[in-house]
Structure 1
Amino acid sequence: MAEVVALPVVQRGNPEVLSRCRWHEPIRWVHVSDLADLSTLLQGGELVLTTGVALAREPRTYLSGLAEAGAVGVIVEVGTEVSTLPSQTGATAEELGLALVVLHRRVRFVEVTEAVHRKLVAEQYDEVAFDRRVHETFTELSMKRASINGIVDAAARMLAEPVVLEDLSHQAIAASATIPADLLDDWERRSRRSPAGAHAEPWAVTGVGPRSQEWGRLVVPRAPSEPTRARMVLERAAAALAMHRMIEQDRTGLQHQAQSGLIDDVLRGRITDERDVAARAQALGLRRAAGYVPVTVRAARPRMPTDPVADHRRNIALLDTVAHTVNAGGHSALFSLQGDGEVGAVLALKDSRGHGAEKAFTKLGVTLREEVRRVDGSESVLAVGSPAEQVTDAVAALAESAHVAEVALAMPTGGRAYFRASDVRLRGLVTLLREDDRLQRFAETELKAVLDNDSEATPDHLTVLREYLRLAGNKAALAERLHMSRPALYKRLAAIRTALGVDLDDGESMTSLHVALMILDARGVGARR
């Protein structure tokens, strides 16, 4: 009614509004008639145009008949057949829930019907075209096996509204790319009270999955500008998501996919604003914390490729094991499969104050090793990177923890629960590269003379040299450790110096010999006595 009265052709009739009931409800059609009883001609949703003869004679009877037939309202022209309407006509229309407008100047009703019907047809055509575009878009996305984020983003673009996919525990597992961060704040609490509750959010919500087996909800987290279109797009997007899950049902869980997707978006620079990243991370279950720690769990896997399907299942089992262990310890994290046998995570510790972090990592490392061995049957290491105040910085630092994990897995753990960069250093790098032929040749060239001079009767040259370098050339401490007299030690060192042909007190020589010994130790050559 509001749009009809605003039309120029109606405005020329100097309209007076006597009742604004149903003012913003849609009109299905326009009907022109002066009959006293239109109940058999109307189907509901019509606007009636009349010169007012029947209305002026019996206002209540006439308006009651229209109300019972489902009409939206009446526009009556006075001055031609009827000079005026009874004084209570407007009040009667309001009582019956009908819109009533009086035109004080003559207009051609055919022009009104043409204008309204043209507008109705145009809107109906727009709706049909929009419906076809929605259908084609989500059909194509399903055919191309688009990702969850791709489907959610498509829905958001069609509606020009933010869209969120949540699971049954009200965790936001996917959100459209341009969603404002404040719409994800305190997501779980706000979602639980929508659409029911005394303080329900004015959201558009559609369930995802079969009616009796829904596994999530698609949400426009504010009042949509076009509710009908929002409902239609969400329903089609929900169907595409249900199809996606049917296809991907043997893959990792939705939440892990969403967490991995967020980490990948940050690493690839698709999302750079910390507030947006933090809001999404918290909606995915990462608790707010003073600092976030990048960690990597690496499991030993055979170098030769095996069955790809079996490998994928092992990786999913590893991811689930790591996530379950971290969450069972009271911590929260974002998890991502970074490669075969490798899980990266951004961790928010339950207690990071004082020595709480060290205790937490020790306990977590021991538990993870036991659980991975039980589930995966392989040995594993936990590598811890440098903590960061922002989630984006912690995600970027996953490369550091991944390097530490790779090196640590190649080293003897020595019962260590977890590793930091300071624990691997040069020995870790050497261990990682121990199979390199060039490294092996270097070690053999540096130490060939002492490797060939091995005496069973006395401490061998290799042992003396190793302890000498470990003590940074402190001869007094070396004699005490080897239980040798100083003259005997000096004689032994002189023999080693002569055999190697280098100055054992020279800093570069000591470094070179120490690296060569690390290479031998990493390969188990010249085992320590």
Structure 2
Amino acid sequence: MPLTVGEVIALPAVQQGDPEVLSDRRWTETIRWVHGSDLADLSSLLQGGELVLTTGKALARHPRKYLRGLADAGALGVIVEVGTQVPALPAGVGAIAEELTLALVVLHRTVRFVEITEAVHRRIVAEQYDEVAFDRRVHETFTELSMKRASLSGIVDAAAHILAEPVVLEDLSHQAIAMSAGIPADLLDNWERRSRRSPGRTDHAEPWAVTGVGPRAQQWGRLVVPQAPADEHRAKMVLERAAAALAMHRMIEQDRTGLQHQAQSGLIDDVLRGRLTDERELSARAQALGLRRAAQYLPATVRAERPSPSSDPVAGHRRGIAFLDAVAHTVNAAGHTGLFSLRGDSEVAMILALKDSRNIDTALATLGARLREQVRRVDGAPVSVLALGPPVEQIADAVSGLAEAAHIAEVALAQGDRDRPYFRAADVRLRGLLSLLRDDRRVQQFAETELKTLLSDEPAGSPPDLTVLREYLRLAGNKAALAGRLHMSRPALYKRLSVIRDALGVDLDDGESMTSLHVALMIVDGAAASHQ
């Protein structure tokens, strides 16, 4: 730890001089160096942060002038050896030091200044060397982890081990997606609410160390030490290095499959990146890879719901391959053909050519049911959805429609509709738009601002305030129907609504306010559903 003025005075070399403290200003501040001199003017020799050792001759003659010069030069204080050869310091010198915010200590016995300087400088140099060694250890650790493509949990564990502190990785919705091994359960209690308060977001902010993960304009998470760290400087440095390793981990592609799937995925990527624009060439290559010629092509996405993200990149890669194989096998077994591309370990994008275009709805309903059953059997995912973009005549247009299909699949999972065998754009409305924009920091900030008091504070009663507000908005402000749905008396309900209105600072009967709050709740609910 850095050496403070008070710690210098406590050193045995200083204590031998029978020190008397006349001013304890700057007592806890870190010293940069110790300088010994009897010169009356040290302004040209000091750089700031020094502790001056002197026999006190200049101080005894002109105390205010001498101490003013030290203060103006940035010194922290002065240790004066009075001993038996130097007259006592003039009365009031301690008050002058306090006025000028300087530490002043008098030694009544003779000491060797060289012993004091050696003791202090040895500590300072050792501290600097320790910091260099620590920095090198941190650099080598995370460089090695990046080279080995360590998992998210491996990087988080390394940061926790170096700091000897618990470390948590959370996403932008304040969901803890990875945490160090052995983290106490009480540190995770009410995580989302407490995380929203740190650092410094409210008067009751948690004393956490926090670092964003990802480029400044595209941060996708935060690394957190969920308690006051023992060394804030080291905690910040380690979290920043770990965040860089996590960002690199996210950039590494882990979705390599068999040769055929690589070729199909590569063809789709060539179109998406503008490297292949000629439809005739695209059609020829697609047919060579197994896509049957058809009057119309369907952009489609199969997305599975994962109970928790995979922290092991190897296991995630294998799971993704099994998922892709299950989808491709089911499509081909039904007599259809397609181009398939794995997106992560829980989503397969595909261009479909159906075997029978005369009864598309029946064919898609059958395919959707078979895909759900096969994905559950092979992949183990409890829920999966088939989402479709609009049919098009050209393959390039179908590839362009994959983004819309992926969006529909994401919203379909969030909506929790388990009965539909497949989903189209008409099946998702405003929730679809909000789901598409959910990772936009501005959208998240909007939701946080609209609902800040209800999100960060403990629920005031049963049901919680958020539930009351949600049902109120769903019923378009019908308080009589709301009282019946919540099994509350009308006076109790009116009181709860009044509390919510005061907490949010808006008129709950105003149409624009209701719309704004409803959208904010849909954003929060969509983010929560995506992590279930």
TM-score (norm 1): 0.52
Q: Deviations over 1:26-76 (max 9, x none)?
A: 211110011121111111111111111122222222222222222122111
Within 2, Cα distance between the matches of 1:314 and 1:112? 62
Match of 1:260 among 300, 306, 309: 309
User: What is the aligned partner in structure 1 of residue 121 from structure 2?
Assistant: 117
Within 1, Cα distance between the matches of 2:417 and 2:196? 32
Deviation at residue 248 of structure 1 after TM alignment: 4.7
On the 8 A contact 2:153/2:311 being kept in 1, the answer is no
User: What is the aligned partner in structure 2 of residue 182 from structure 1?
Assistant: 186
Percent identical pairs in the alignment equals 68
On the 8 A contact 2:152/2:178 being kept in 1, the answer is yes
User: What is the aligned partner in structure 1 of residue 209 from structure 2?
Assistant: 204
Mapping for residues 342-353 of structure 1, pairs under 5 Å = 342-344=380-382
Mapping for residues 76-155 of structure 1, pairs under 5 Å = 76-155=80-159
Within 2, Cα distance between the matches of 1:245 and 1:195? 25
Within 2, Cα distance between the matches of 1:29 and 1:143? 40
On the 8 A contact 2:142/2:155 being kept in 1, the answer is yes
User: What is the aligned partner in structure 1 of residue 329 from structure 2?
Assistant: 302
Within 2, Cα distance between the matches of 1:142 and 1:258? 27
Within 1, Cα distance between the matches of 2:70 and 2:307? 54
Match of 2:250 among 245, 249, 269: 245
Within 1, Cα distance between the matches of 2:125 and 2:307? 42
On the 8 A contact 1:53/1:81 being kept in 2, the answer is no
Deviation at residue 195 of structure 1 after TM alignment: 1.7
Deviation at residue 153 of structure 1 after TM alignment: 0.8
On the 8 A contact 1:173/1:258 being kept in 2, the answer is no
Deviation at residue 80 of structure 1 after TM alignment: 4.3
Q: Deviations over 1:284-339 (max 9, x none)?
A: xxxxxxxxxxxx9x9765179999x94633852269xxxxxxxxxxxxxxxxx998
On the 8 A contact 2:152/2:311 being kept in 1, the answer is no
Amino acid at match of 1:343: A
- Report SS of the residue matched to 1:365: coil
The number of residue pairs the alignment matches comes to 305
Deviation at residue 192 of structure 1 after TM alignment: 1.8
* Alpha carbons of structure 1 residues 73 and 261: separation in structure 2 relative to 1, 3 Å: farther
RMSD between aligned residues: 3.7
Within 2, Cα distance between the matches of 1:373 and 1:210? 32
* Alpha carbons of structure 1 residues 209 and 311: separation in structure 2 relative to 1, 3 Å: closer
- Report SS of the residue matched to 1:259: coil
User: What is the aligned partner in structure 1 of residue 370 from structure 2?
Assistant: none
Q: Decide which moves more: 133-142 or 27-36.
A: 27-36
Gaps of 5+ in 2: 257-304, 314-322, 350-374, 384-415, 428-532
* Alpha carbons of structure 1 residues 159 and 311: separation in structure 2 relative to 1, 3 Å: same
* Alpha carbons of structure 1 residues 61 and 305: separation in structure 2 relative to 1, 3 Å: farther
* Alpha carbons of structure 1 residues 77 and 186: separation in structure 2 relative to 1, 3 Å: same
- Report SS of the residue matched to 2:174: coil
On the 8 A contact 1:22/1:72 being kept in 2, the answer is yes
Within 1, Cα distance between the matches of 2:57 and 2:9? 21
On the 8 A contact 2:341/2:348 being kept in 1, the answer is no
Runs of 4+ with deviation above 6 angstroms: 303-307, 372-375
User: What is the aligned partner in structure 2 of residue 313 from structure 1?
Assistant: 343
User: What is the aligned partner in structure 2 of residue 483 from structure 1?
Assistant: none
Q: Which structure is larger by alpha-carbon Rg, 1 or 2?
A: 1
Asked if 1:69 is matched to 2:69, the reply is no
Deviation at residue 225 of structure 1 after TM alignment: 1.0
* Alpha carbons of structure 1 residues 311 and 81: separation in structure 2 relative to 1, 3 Å: same
Deviation at residue 259 of structure 1 after TM alignment: 2.4
Deviation at residue 160 of structure 1 after TM alignment: 0.5
Amino acid at match of 2:342: H
* Alpha carbons of structure 1 residues 262 and 138: separation in structure 2 relative to 1, 3 Å: closer
* Alpha carbons of structure 1 residues 84 and 215: separation in structure 2 relative to 1, 3 Å: farther
Asked if 1:365 is matched to 2:418, the reply is yes
Within 2, Cα distance between the matches of 1:99 and 1:81? 23
Within 2, Cα distance between the matches of 1:305 and 1:48? 84
Within 2, Cα distance between the matches of 1:109 and 1:338? 78
Amino acid at match of 1:206: T
On the 8 A contact 1:93/1:100 being kept in 2, the answer is yes
TM-score (norm 2): 0.51
Mapping for residues 91-490 of structure 1, pairs under 5 Å = 91-196=95-200, 197-248=202-253, 259-261=308-310, 302=329, 310=340, 312-313=342-343, 316-317=346-347, 341-344=379-382, 364-367=417-420, 369-371=421-423
Amino acid at match of 2:221: G
Deviation at residue 262 of structure 1 after TM alignment: 7.5
Within 1, Cα distance between the matches of 2:205 and 2:100? 31
Within 1, Cα distance between the matches of 2:26 and 2:63? 19
Amino acid at match of 1:14: D
Deviation at residue 211 of structure 1 after TM alignment: 2.4
Amino acid at match of 1:127: E
* Alpha carbons of structure 1 residues 250 and 167: separation in structure 2 relative to 1, 3 Å: farther
* Alpha carbons of structure 1 residues 102 and 70: separation in structure 2 relative to 1, 3 Å: same
* Alpha carbons of structure 1 residues 169 and 90: separation in structure 2 relative to 1, 3 Å: farther
* Alpha carbons of structure 1 residues 41 and 305: separation in structure 2 relative to 1, 3 Å: farther
Mapping for residues 51-70 of structure 1, pairs under 5 Å = 51-70=55-74
On the 8 A contact 1:299/1:342 being kept in 2, the answer is no
Within 2, Cα distance between the matches of 1:28 and 1:257? 54
Within 1, Cα distance between the matches of 2:58 and 2:377? 81
On the 8 A contact 2:187/2:226 being kept in 1, the answer is yes
On the 8 A contact 1:52/1:81 being kept in 2, the answer is no
* Alpha carbons of structure 1 residues 64 and 195: separation in structure 2 relative to 1, 3 Å: farther
- Report SS of the residue matched to 1:312: strand
Within 2, Cα distance between the matches of 1:364 and 1:241? 34
* Alpha carbons of structure 1 residues 304 and 191: separation in structure 2 relative to 1, 3 Å: closer
Amino acid at match of 2:199: P
Match of 2:38 among 28, 34, 37: 34
Within 2, Cα distance between the matches of 1:134 and 1:315? 31
Within 1, Cα distance between the matches of 2:8 and 2:254? 51
On the 8 A contact 2:151/2:311 being kept in 1, the answer is no
On the 8 A contact 1:34/1:53 being kept in 2, the answer is yes
Within 2, Cα distance between the matches of 1:25 and 1:339? 65
User: What is the aligned partner in structure 2 of residue 461 from structure 1?
Assistant: none
User: What is the aligned partner in structure 2 of residue 484 from structure 1?
Assistant: none
Deviation at residue 102 of structure 1 after TM alignment: 1.4
Within 1, Cα distance between the matches of 2:332 and 2:207? 53
* Alpha carbons of structure 1 residues 133 and 170: separation in structure 2 relative to 1, 3 Å: same
Within 2, Cα distance between the matches of 1:364 and 1:46? 69
Within 1, Cα distance between the matches of 2:345 and 2:16? 74
On the 8 A contact 1:149/1:174 being kept in 2, the answer is yes
Gaps of 5+ in 1: 265-295, 320-336, 346-362, 376-529
